[in-house]
Chain A
Amino acid sequence: MLWKLVRRQLAHRPRRLISVLVTVVIGVGFTAACITYNATAKASLAHQVAGIGRTADVLIVPAPEVPAKTLLAVTGVAGVETSLSASTAYRSDAAKGYASVAGIPSPSLRWFSLSAGSWPQQDRQVVVGEDFAKSANLEIGSVLTLAGAGSTEQQVTVAGTVADGGLGIADLFASPAVVLRIPGATPELVAVTVTSGVDPAQVVGALRAVIPTGADSSPEVLTGAQYAADRATAVTDGSDLLGTLLLGFAAIALLVAGIVIANVFTILTTARRRELALLRCVGATSGQVTAQVVLEGLVVGAVGSVAGVLAGYGAAAVLTQQLGSAQGGVVADLTGLLIALVAGILITTGAAAFPAVRTGRIAPLAALQPISPEATTRRLGILRVVSGLVLTLAGRVGWCTRPPTDRSSPPWARLRSRRSAYCCSPGRPSRW
């Protein structure tokens, strides 16, 4: 019965509730956008620092002192590849300096892509990172001398440049043979490829069994995804400052939306006073009248929240792509979006509940009287005062705990140095 009445009410005067709907869409939309932006930015950062974690199924870090044969014998292991790294002086016709060198992974493990030229076809060919190519004035075909000590000097040719849009890429990728001749070359880690269809997590366990453990520096076996996540955590120091900040804003947006909704519902129910009193006259209980208004809130809250989540997600998707902060793809944080949806519905319904309860107390006799502009501001006054206090407090707390501007402060400085992954505009002032 009540559903019918609510449906007819909403269908009869849909425009009455448009302001509520818009408020819900904005509040929930902003929240959904914050959640999506945060998840996407995080994934983007993780993507950028993940390196080989993106392509390898399982990683052993650092490379264990176990023969590849032993590792290959483990069930589910399809391939094993040691990743080498070194650092060396170099010189070319145009420049000289130091460069980090890594062994070029086999094609299936390359997490970076070719931006110009071609992949190396032979040992003496290398690919270089775009940034390095620029700073060392290298072009396709340039010859570089990697200066080791004495006789270990070797000449290589640039076959192509690579880009991954990310961080921490080596300056130069050379064949293992070249890297191994550089003094100090070390096996950094072992990338394991798993037989297709096998869960990498199972292989992790099996590999742990064949790798000696106990010592402090004993190798760690983890999946590519874990490796990527660990790297991301290491970069942000585990702190999620931006996420917390954004969610704080979102919470405030929802709170404000709730206040506006309560306000609008108060106005609407006051305008419908006679109508609702008439319902009481012809036999609606106080509870039925209250429930009717609450249900109206529920319907508008549900419609607005669904629209808000979709709009917010869409806006964040466009925004992150435009700003280049979606390098890990646009991420739909389903849990977060569901929370935004439920919060939107609950807040709208809750905000409608205040005026609804008051409406339920309307005397049936009010149907016989012209609409009296009865003062209905008391409760709202309290709401205003409380929300004002909360917002003021939130502002104070936010100000007091604002990030220090000192460059030596680790988390913030680190965040700032990774600004490309986080901030909206690269040209931002140092404190934002």
Chain B
Amino acid sequence: MPASQTTTRMIPPQNPAGNDHVLRALDLRKTYGTDDTLVRALDGVDVDFRRGSFTAVMGPSGSGKSTLMHCLAGLDAPTSGSIRLGDVELTTLDDRALTGIRRDRFGFVFQSFNLLPMLTAAQNILLPLELAGRSADPDHYRELTAALRISDRLQHRPSELSGGQQQRVAIARAMITRPDIVFADEPTGALDTRTGHQLLAFLRAGARELGQTIVMVTHDPVAAAYADRAVLLSDGRVAGSLQQPTADDVLAAMRDLGA
């Protein structure tokens, strides 16, 4: 990422000592129900994410990976523990402040239904900025839409776009605010294999070329292989972490977890 863009993002300067975590969760717990019916979705998760990293959160279904993402992204409140976004402790924020964080500092890509049907692709992309009452940086907008190859689809409504195009529009919307983190929840879950790979390649390029921090939840080892790091979750706990994983590594690690 060019230096000029780094300054406009107004992010704190990276710590020379290497402590450049954007988001850090400590002893995160989330329980549902009480006593007999108690379910520990998250059971003391410690995890952190470096600036510019592309992390895959892996785990079998029921391992708590979606819950973890919801808590990290301020969509759900953990029962206890701490989530720090830079200097901000998310767990103490009220709904209004969390909304502002989601709008200005987070981006979201969901499995499906990412876009508002009555808005064009362009309007969907600019939605977070409009909600904040800000206007887009035209250069950034052009670069993003060009990189995601949706420049010629911008005036179309979601119903006129293919699934892959819709997901790329969603990525553009997630990145338009230059957020600290983009959360992607099974972003390829509703796509065919080939389109899914294209999308993952876009995400990886976003992380490497734009320095965008990305946290992706997936159960697909092949998808996880696109990330710099895979964090394995099992029964609400972090069960391991793989650097520069391959699909085989992830598959093997998952097998070890008994999934």
Contact = CB atoms under 8 A, between A and B. Distances in A.
**Is A bound to B?**
yes
Interface of A: 1, 4-5, 8-9, 11-13, 274-275, 278-286, 288, 363-365, 367-368
B240 to A, nearest CB: 26
B185 A368 contact: yes
B221 interface: no
Contact of A283 (B76, B102, B118, B119): B102
Given A278-B114, A278-B116, A365-B76, 16 more contacts: A5-B130, A8-B119, A279-B116, A279-B127, A280-B99, A281-B102, A282-B128, A283-B99, A283-B102, A283-B128, A285-B99, A286-B95, A364-B102, A367-B110, A367-B113, A368-B70
Contacts, number: 66
Interface residues of B, number: 27
Interface of B: 70, 75-76, 95-96, 99-100, 102-104, 108, 110, 113-114, 116-119, 123, 127-128, 130-133, 173, 185
A281 B95 CA distance: 11
Contacts of B123: 8
B131 A4 contact: no
B75 A365 contact: yes
Given A365-B75, A367-B110, A368-B185, A284 B131 contact: yes
Contacts of B131: 1, 279, 282-284, 288
B108 A282 contact: yes
A363 B75 CA distance: 8
Contacts of A13: 118
Given A9-B118, A12-B118, A368-B185, A282 B173 contact: yes
A1 B75 contact: no
Nearest to A287: B96
Contacts of A367: 110, 113
Contacts of A288: 131
B118 A282 contact: no
26 contacts: A1-B130, A5-B130, A8-B123, A12-B118, A275-B116, A278-B114, A280-B99, A281-B75, A281-B102, A282-B108, A282-B127, A283-B99, A283-B100, A283-B128, A284-B103, A284-B131, A285-B96, A285-B100, A286-B95, A286-B99, A288-B131, A363-B75, A364-B102, A365-B70, A365-B75, A367-B113
Contacts of A274: 113
A278 B185 CA distance: 14
A12 B117 contact: yes
A355 B60 CA distance: 39
Contact of A11 (B96, B104, B108, B118): B118
Contacts of A278: 113-114, 116
